Amino acid sequence: MTSGNTYLIALFPSTSGALMAEKLFKREGIPHKIIPVPRQISSDCGVCLRFSVSERERAEKTLAGKVDIQDICPL
């Protein structure tokens, strides 16, 4: 959507996982956006968290041991 920025998305096994992750991101001040899981990834009506590639390390650290991550992949 925004040019000049590459995004990753974190996928979760459940919607509540995505909600929990959003809260943790907010607390840590990691810029993010909650978006519907792109159609090419899944046809489920799921949500995922989008964040900048440069935040990968901080994102993983924030979620580690707190929320189950299904996958982190490029958008």
The site for other proteins (CB under 8 A) is made up of 1, 15, 18-19, 22, 33-36, 47
Sheet of strand 47-52: strand arrangement: 32-36, 47-52, 7-11, 71-74
Task: Specify the residue, 5 or 61, whose C-beta has the smaller distance to other proteins.
Answer: 5
- Of the pair 38, 61, the CB lying nearest other proteins is at 38
Q: Find the shortest distance in angstroms from Cβ 50 to other proteins.
A: 9
Length of the chain (residues): 75
Run of H or E residues at 9 = strand 7-11
Q: SS3 for 68? A: coil
Nearest approach in angstroms of CB 64 to other proteins is 22
